[in-house]
Amino acid sequence: MDKLAIIGGRELYGELRISGAKNSALKVMAACLLTDGKLILDEVPDLADARQLLVLLENHGVQWTREGARLTLDAGTITSTTAPYEIVRKMRASFNVLGPILAREGQAKVSLPGGCAIGARPVDLHLDAFRAMGADIELEEGYVLAEAKGGLKGAEVEFPFVSVGATEHVMMAATLAKGTTVLKNAAREPEIVDLGDCLRAMGAKVEGDGTDTITITGVDRLEGTTHEVVADRIEMGSYAMAVGAVGGELLLERGRRDLLGTAAAVMEESGLTLKEEERGLRVSRWGTPTVSTSVTTEPYPGFATDLQAQYMALMAKGDGEATIKETIFENRFMHVPELRRLGADIDVDGRTATVRGVKRLKGAPVMATDLRASMSLIIAALCAEGQTMISRVYHLDRGFEKLDDKLRSVGALIERIKDED
């Protein structure tokens, strides 16, 4: 199992290309099941999660090729409508094949996804929406058995709370439903808009994505198309916060300020400079101290929960005290004990963490607990004195493409090593 060794204290300078958004790429990949035409996707990150989804798509008969960041998917014939437990259990996003297969084939059998280290993420919202669209759904031995003999039908679906996954899943299924589907209290994330752009390019009639009400008018069939996956706002925000923690200047190619939502203003308040340019977003911090700034995670355009851990690492060396309130997921402060090992002064009370900035962090052995927590340890290690050894970095490989290579290219002292235990 790989580890990362980092010697901190070096500022970051240069250019980094931001990969396509993992959370968007996985959904537009699943959208290939909606058409018998070829779906060509550019800027698809080569990540463990994307490779795992390809295993599942192959199970359904999808043929695919990859050339660099271009992925070509061909679901000309769906050979199986069953998504088996042994594949789905490895990644929650695999569950999103249910809607496209149900919409196209009229039936699907998909394993319920496994648990999640950062809290419960129930699929009830997905299933309730499909029931509203006329599907008969039963749960049997850990599987969802869904059937829509006459095809899915348009319906009005109001989500009881904002859910990115449910919004995306129902959007895809509704493209082939008979009639009009209206999604209320829909998620507004950039990934929703990216999926909408892809579906429209395939011939779907989707309106309102990016707002809390999305209207989808079903069509008889969708065509193949070419689509470029939007830049990963979490990767972009993470590298920006790394600059904030250690200092320097980076041009984040393909980066856009609007993708960050309110996190952009928060980072500026904490001492970072963000400047949009033709090729991307330039971030810098020169000599000024990090200003402790409190935040509360919220659905987009609020401060992203997927940037909370990284921001905590930035605040660990802040000039003052900041509170970080997590409102999206329970159990998402598992990185706190590891940051404390590096010298951070953090207290947790329920869903609120209080971070008192310290003058210095010191390297130590630490262990990653989940994807975003892994990146918080990277940021802390980059500005810590001495060497930090981070274990269980397979979490990072699920969401950050070529992270150690990218950081080395801009001046970080980071090395991936094999665990000999």
Which residues are part of a known binding site for phosphoenolpyruvate? 22-23
The reply to whether 116 belongs to the active site is yes
H/E/C letters for each residue in the chain?
CEEEEEECCCCEEEEEECCECHHHHHHHHHHHHHECCEEEEECCCCCHHHHHHHHHHHHCCCEEEEECCEEEEECCCCCCCEECHHHHCCCHHHHHHHHHHHHHHCEEEEECCCCCCCCCCCCHHHHHHHHHCCCEEEEECCEEEEECCCCCECCEEECCCCCHHHHHHHHHHHCCCECEEEEECCCCCHHHHHHHHHHHHCCCEEECECECEEEEECCCCECCEEEECCECHHHHHHHHHHHHHHCEEEEEECCCHHHHCCHHHHHHHCCCEEEEECCEEEEEECCCCCECCCEEECCCCCECHHHHHHHHHHHCCCECEEEEECCCCCCCCCCHHHHHHCCCEEEEECCEEEEECCCCCECCEEECCCHHHHHHHHHHHHCCECEEEEECCHHHHCCCCCHHHHHHHCCCEEEEEECCC
Of 32, 116, 198, 383, the catalytic one is: 116
Which residues are part of a known binding site? 22-23, 92, 121-125, 306, 328
End-to-end Cα, the chain, rounded Å? 9
Which residues are part of a known binding site for UDP-N-acetyl-alpha-D-glucosamine? 92, 121-125, 306, 328
Q: Which positions are catalytic? A: 116
